[in-house]
Structure 1
Amino acid sequence: MLNKITQFIEQHLQPEDNAPALSFEQKQLAVAALLIEVGTADRLLDETELATLRTILERKFNLDPERLNELSELAHEEQNDATSLHQFTHQVNQACSAEEKYELIKAMWEVAYADGELDKYEEALIRQVSELIHVSHSMFIHARNSVRDGTV
């Protein structure tokens, strides 16, 4: 799945060689790719998770409908592909503040809990991303608890 998302980002949103930083749009799509990955971590992206994913992307990242639809289609088509998270976590580390990283982890929990069941693979992926983007364990737990307890 991440292969097609990576190709999409490289094709449409890759910075010029002399550009120093990611654009806001590139940052949004890196975050969206990680949200899609947590939605497919248990190999079952059901309608509730997909709807939650789309709501989060619309609400937090203001993606236009065309890009939102393209990312949703990629998630459906590529559920079984497995690649490294490094490209996306590197982009998040490069472009996001500590607060934005925390909000990403919280959004990942929202997707994971959307179907009413937390799968061990979803939790493991969120933990891995949290570590890769340098979100403290206490903030990881705080994000999980606030989503689980409905205090988002």
Structure 2
Amino acid sequence: MFERLFPRRKPDQKPLPQPNAQLALGALLVRVALADRSYAATEVGQIDRILAATFTLKPLEAARLRATCEALELHAPGTPEFAEILRKEVAYSDRKALAEAMWSVVLADGDKGDEEEIQLVAIETALGLSDADIAEARKKALSGG
């Protein structure tokens, strides 16, 4: 009876934006954080800091970008498609720095899960990083920088 009187309205869903380098980076950061099926506030904060520093955003702008990236990560293409965008638009040295930033997200909650590391290595490989650079980013992150 109440359903007829007060029908549930579906919220208007905005279409997702077409991925660009900024959104692809954010979506991959979110993907790494979600790999262990836990999305801790420390990981969210680290993603916001990375986005703010990388794209010169204010904290609120970075949080909004991350929220868009979360939706994109959930509904959009897989890792290879995001990585291809970054390979085309981002210099190799910056992709290496991205790998280090992703490690900071993995370690933000104080628990380096195997799922996160596996996801990160897959992303680093898809970004076209060499085995030596992948190993260097891992070593640097695990030694504390």
Give TM-score scaled by structure 1 length: 0.74
- The one-character-per-residue Cα deviations of 1:3-26 (angstroms, maximum 9, x if unpaired) are xxxx5331xxx6xxxxxxxxxxx3
Q: 1:138 aligns with which of 100, 117, 132?
A: 132
Compare CA radii of gyration and give the structure with the larger one. Answer: 2
Report the AA paired with residue 34 of structure 1.
L
What CA deviation, in whole Å up to 9, does each residue of 1:100-130 have, x standing for no partner? 1101111110100111111111111111111
The answer to whether residue 42 in structure 2 is matched with residue 48 in structure 1 is: yes
Q: Given the superposition, is the C-alpha separation of residues 83 and 92 from structure 1 closer, same or farther in structure 2, using an over 3 Å criterion? A: closer
Work out the percentage of aligned pairs sharing the same amino acid.
26
Tell me whether 1:27 sits opposite 2:27 in the alignment.
Answer: no
Matched, 1:121 2:121: no
**Partner-residue secondary structure (3-state), 1:135:** coil
Structure 1 window deviating more from structure 2 (65-74 vs 45-54): it is: 65-74
Residues 44, 82 of structure 1: CA spacing in aligned structure 2 closer, same or farther, 3 A cutoff? farther
Scaled by the length of structure 2, the TM-score of the pair is: 0.77
Stretches of structure 2 lacking an aligned partner (at least 5 in a row)? 1-14
Aligned length: 131
Flag the 1:64–1:8 CA change in 2: closer, same or farther, 3 A: farther
Answering whether residue 16 of structure 2 is matched by residue 8 of structure 1, we say yes
Gaps of 5+ in 1: 1-6, 15-25
RMSD after superposition = 2.5
- Which residue among 97, 100, 124 is the counterpart of 2:91? 97
1:141 CA drift (Å): 1.3
- 2-structure distance, mates of 1:8, 1:67: 17
Q: 2: CA distance between counterparts of 1:98 and 1:78?
A: 24
Instruction: List per-residue Cα deviations over 1:50-100 (Å, max 9, x = no partner).
Output: 111111111123235555223433566788768521221110111111101
